[in-house]
Amino acid sequence: MKTQVLISGAGPVGSVAGYILARQGIDVVVAEAAPECPRDLRASTFHPPTIEMLDELGVVDLLFDQGLKAPIYQYRDRSTDEVFSFDLSELADVTAHPYRVQCEQWKLARHLTGLLAQQDNARLLFNHRVVHFTEDSAGVNVALETPYGIDHYQADYLIAADGANSIVRKWLGVEFSGFTYPERFLCLSTKLALEAHFEDLAYVNYVSDPQEWVVLLRVPSLWRVLVPSRDEESDEWLLSEEKKNRVFDGLVGEGAQVRTEHRTIYRVHQRVANTYRVGRVLLAGDAAHLNNPLGGMGMNSGIHDAWDLCHKLIEILRDGAPESLLDLYDRQRRTVMHRYVQAQTIANKQAMEARDADEQARQREQMRRTLADDALRRDFLLRQSLFTSLEDAAAVA
Ligand SMILES: Cc1cc2nc3c(=O)[nH]c(=O)nc-3n(C[C@H](O)[C@H](O)[C@H](O)COP(=O)(O)OP(=O)(O)OC[C@H]3O[C@@H](n4cnc5c(N)ncnc54)[C@H](O)[C@@H]3O)c2cc1C
């Protein structure tokens, strides 16, 4: 069976990539290992440039219908009770969408795969796992494991959007350079109205604390509470009632009364593939890079990869543009991944976990200065929402 582009993985990145290509008449196969788009509680923040892209794809109403607009996000300091509020409405001259939207990533993936299934030039294959591929002068030959046997496809290009453990990246032997944090992150979700316990709580809050920082994120039906583990804490302890009680004792008191809907442990990495292109195989999203979730940049930057890569592939496949555009994709997206997403998420984490009193005071002073100064504040808003990374990527030759 033949196709122009085969995409492994129908997470947010693979489904956006598939939909961009299908809308432009490219023949595309999206192969997803799972029986449906996994419904896990991972990304929930969509930044303004990503919302713009989804608007251009005609699917932004999904975010508005099933998500929450969040123009304001806050940094809170538990030791001084200071609240630093940043308001994206200030970027109304830059974007038609000056807010984040809080919406679970699986809602987007499921919506897009639903639309893909209706396109004549798209084939959406659940229960199809990419297990092997080879490349020759005719294209990429991909083996897909199905419940009934192995299917073979020949594609002009293969996009690996198969997530952090990408089998495609591993087969290519591409190094995934970087590091893994020693601590894990524990994510607890609850229907408890946290806003009743904090004054003026925004939908997105990064709370620094020398003992235990915490992120409070609202999605339509839940609050999500993200805390780091300590070295000595076992998985069993992290998922226990006692641990849950302690986390909520510290947040709202009477932790034992709080019911959680999910408890999940994540290992957190800062890693970037040494190349995003090997011949006709391209890496995008978590298959290409991983970062901590402080700032909500992983899925967003992955969707930006898909946007950039697919528009280049359309130029190549439809308009006969040279394949060297794919090297440009690698240079542009990898450069800004290092320069912005990696640098910013590492800095975000360091700021939240600072233990030294002088360092904490310096962080607070920096926040005050940023908020008080129009130019610094605007620069901060543009960087954190990834506008600056997109502008810089376009400038990479
Ligand atoms: C706690 C937490 C919070 C986060 N919050 C945010 C946030 O607010 N904003 C943000 O931008 N990012 C956030 N992230 C990161 C975000 O979840 C990821 O960056 C995002 O899921 C990457 O999307 P993806 O499509 O590249 O990979 P995935 O979502 O992992 O999707 C990969 C897909 O490929 C499939 N697959 C795997 N192997 C194969 C194979 N061999 N063949 C076929 N299919 C395969 C999988 O089943 C899966 O469906 C968060 C992460 C965590 C852990």
Tens of pLDDT, residue by residue over 37-95, are 999 889 999 999 999 999 999 999 999 999 999 999 999 998 899 999 999 999 999 99
187 assigned to some structural domain? no
Q: Is the CB of 297 under 6 A from ligand 1?
A: yes
Q: Is the CB of 20 under 6 A from ligand 1?
A: no
Q: Given this model, what pLDDT does residue 45 score?
A: 97
Q: Given this model, what pLDDT does residue 354 score?
A: 85
Q: For strand 122-125 and strand 28-31, is the pairing parallel, antiparallel, or unpaired?
A: parallel
Q: Which of 7, 42, 205 to mutate to test the pocket of ligand 1 (most atoms within 8 A of CB)?
A: 42
Whether the pLDDT of residue 20 is over 90: the answer is yes
* Cα–Cα distance for residue pair 92/78, rounded to 1 Å: 31
Nearest to 367 by CA among 37, 13, 80: 80
Whether the pLDDT of residue 303 is over 90: the answer is yes
> How many angstroms is it from 356 CA to the middle of ligand 1?
34
204 assigned to some structural domain? no
Among protein residues, the one whose CA lies closest to atom 39 of ligand 1: 162
> How many angstroms is it from 302 CA to the middle of ligand 1?
9
Q: Given this model, what pLDDT does residue 209 score?
A: 84
Q: Given this model, what pLDDT does residue 356 score?
A: 86
Query: Three-class SS of residue 378?
Result: helix
Residue 266 neighbours by CB distance under 10 Å: 15
Q: Which of 151, 299, 304, 341 to mutate to test the pocket of ligand 1 (most atoms within 8 A of CB)?
A: 299
Whether the pLDDT of residue 357 is over 90: the answer is no
* Cα–Cα distance for residue pair 1/179, rounded to 1 Å: 40
183 assigned to some structural domain? no
Q: Which of 54, 206, 286 to mutate to test the pocket of ligand 1 (most atoms within 8 A of CB)?
A: 286
Helix spans in 24-99 (H): 48-56, 60-66
Beta bridge partners of 69: 101
Tens of pLDDT, residue by residue over 222-277, are 999 999 998 789 999 999 999 999 999 999 999 999 999 999 999 999 999 999 99
Q: Is the CB of 341 under 6 A from ligand 1?
A: no
DSSP label of 89: G
pLDDT band (50, 70, 90) for residue 279: very high
202 assigned to some structural domain? no
Tens of pLDDT, residue by residue over 113-131, are 999 999 999 999 999 999 9
221 assigned to some structural domain? no
Q: Is the CB of 31 under 6 A from ligand 1?
A: yes
Number of domains in the chain: 1
Query: Three-class SS of residue 365?
Result: helix
Q: What CATH number should be reported for the domain holding residue 147?
A: 3.50.50.60
Instruction: For residue 50, give the ligand 1 atom closest to its CA.
Output: 11
* Cα–Cα distance for residue pair 344/98, rounded to 1 Å: 20
Torsional sign, CA 23, 24, 28, 31? negative
186 assigned to some structural domain? no
238 assigned to some structural domain? no
Instruction: For residue 166, give the ligand 1 atom closest to its CA.
Output: 38
205 assigned to some structural domain? no
Residue 390 sits at φ, ψ, to 5 deg, of -70, -40
Average pLDDT of the residues of the chain: 96
> How many angstroms is it from 296 CA to the middle of ligand 1?
12
Q: Is the CB of 11 under 6 A from ligand 1?
A: yes
Token pair of 28, please? Answer: 């595309």
Contact call for residues 26 and 318 (beta carbons, < 8 A): yes
| Mean pLDDT computed over 339-350 | 95
| Mean pLDDT computed over 300-315 | 98
Q: Which of 46, 53, 101, 105 to mutate to test the pocket of ligand 1 (most atoms within 8 A of CB)?
A: 105
Q: Which of 51, 162, 292, 300 to mutate to test the pocket of ligand 1 (most atoms within 8 A of CB)?
A: 162
| Mean pLDDT computed over 343-363 | 90
Whether the pLDDT of residue 211 is over 90: the answer is no
Q: Is the CB of 38 under 6 A from ligand 1?
A: yes
Nearest to 235 by CA among 267, 210, 262: 267
Among protein residues, the one whose CA lies closest to atom 21 of ligand 1: 299
Q: Is the CB of 299 under 6 A from ligand 1?
A: yes
Parent domain of 173: 2-177+270-395
Query: Three-class SS of residue 37?
Result: coil
* Cα–Cα distance for residue pair 273/287, rounded to 1 Å: 8
